[in-house]
Amino acid sequence: MSTCTLIPDWCRISEEATHSIEDYGRGVPRWCLGCGDHAILAAVQRYCRDEQLPLEKTVFVSGIGCSSRFPHYMETYGFHGIHGRPFPIAEGIKMVRPDLNVFVSTGDGDCCSIGTAHWIHAIRYNMDMTVLLHDNEIYGLTKKQASPTSPAGLKTNTTPRGSRLNPLNPLSATLGVANVSFVAQAVDWIPDLLHDIIRMASLHKGFSFIRVLQRCPAYLPTEFEAQTRNPERVLLLKHQDGLTLPPEIAQTYRNQEEHDPGDIHRAREIASASDPIPVGILYHNPAVPCYEDSVDRDRIDTAETTHAFLEQEMDKFTIWPTSSEARRA
């Protein structure tokens, strides 16, 4: 008996399902109680289960930070790299192995501070991967220093008299970069939307950038308090080409905007807003080509073809013992 009609279409559970949510988890996450990273992990694992992503064909890549511990908690392949460099590592993987599902987990320091150059260029490369920016607006792992997304005036260990700068807006910045193809914002405290956004991001072929506003109770315990309490301070973006809101969600969060993800100008305006917090798909352009597709993947290369090519290439540099042969190339 198929149960397909009973569950929303994003949830492709069927009799063939062989992996449970638990199958995707590994170990006990070492995040603080109440840390938003737990919710992100849960949403990702749920999505993996829904899609039945093969464990061995999926790679989670990260940098360094609390959030970058993510791959350790997935029973897939993982690459916990160095601070700020998850993107180039993920790009190398995807270029060589377009058959793999590639996810990137990165923090606001990892991505928007030390990793800025790679982030901006990853957008431009538009390789097919799903990116979760765990934006807790603080350096968690190193214990409370200002991050580029920290609110102005925030007192941290490196800004004891308050952060001096307005925060960088990762959405606006992303939307300014050539080849941008998918930009969304989610919040850790609305897990269903988080899940839906991850799903849409993963279905998009290209560089799918999701900024997740993530609570860090350890160092910014009150940062999103108002927004978690008051649904009015969240603005849901919906559209037939974007997010369709589950009814319960639509009822709780009345603040909604019909936004066409194809409209980059409006997307940039929305991105600039922080109160209410926009949640949903800001921008989506399925037509942007992927860098990895610029290579001919149809050819079959074997030791023999390589060998033959090498001989042919060497011919070009060869001087043969008799001068008439010199012209063979």
Ligand X SMILES: Cc1ncc(C[n+]2csc(CCOP(=O)(O)OP(=O)(O)O)c2C)c(N)n1
Comparison of 93 and 288: residue with beta carbon closer to another protein: 93
β-partners of residue 236 are: 256, 279
- Residues contacting 318, CB < 8 A, separation 6+: 326, 328, 329
The Cα-based distances of 1 to 11, 15, 16, 193 in angstroms read 16, 8, 12, 29
Enter the tokens of residue 46.
């749920």
- Applying CB under 8 A, the span of 61-69, 164-172, 252-260, 320-328 interacting with a copy of itself comes to 164-172
Q: What is the separation of C-alpha 255 from the centre of its chain, rounded to a whole number of angstroms? A: 26
Enter the tokens of residue 172.
């606006």
Q: Does 173 bind ligand SF4 (CB under 6 A)?
A: no
Site string for a copy of itself, 262-281 (x = CB under 8 A): ---x--xx------------
Comparison of 160 and 247: residue with beta carbon closer to another protein: 160
The DSSP symbol for 279 reads: E
Looking at 108-250, which runs of residues are DSSP E strands?
A: 129-135, 182-187, 207-213, 234-238
Q: Does 89 bind another protein (CB under 8 A)?
A: yes
Q: Does 213 bind ligand SF4 (CB under 6 A)?
A: no
3-state secondary structure of 217: coil
Among a copy of itself, Mg ion, ligand SF4, none, what binds residue 31 when CB lies within 5 to 8 Å by partner kind? Answer: ligand SF4
3-state secondary structure of 297: coil
Site string for ligand SF4, 10-39 (x = CB under 6 A): ---------------------xx--x-x--
Q: Which of 182, 233, 188, 205 is nearest to 67 (CA)?
A: 188
- Asked whether 283 and 267 are in contact (CB, 8 A), the reply is yes
Residue nearest to Mg ion (CB): 107
Comparison of 48 and 133: residue with beta carbon closer to ligand X: 133
Q: Does 24 bind ligand X (CB under 6 A)?
A: no
Comparison of 84 and 280: residue with beta carbon closer to ligand X: 84
In the complex, what is the shortest distance from the CB of residue 169 to a copy of itself, in angstroms, rounded to a whole number? Answer: 6
Among another protein, ligand X, Mg ion, none, what binds residue 275 when CB lies within 5 to 8 Å by partner kind? Answer: none
Enter the tokens of residue 306.
């390589």
**Contacting residues toward a copy of itself, per CB under 8 A:** 113-117, 120-121, 124-125, 148, 164-169, 172-179, 265, 268-269, 291, 294
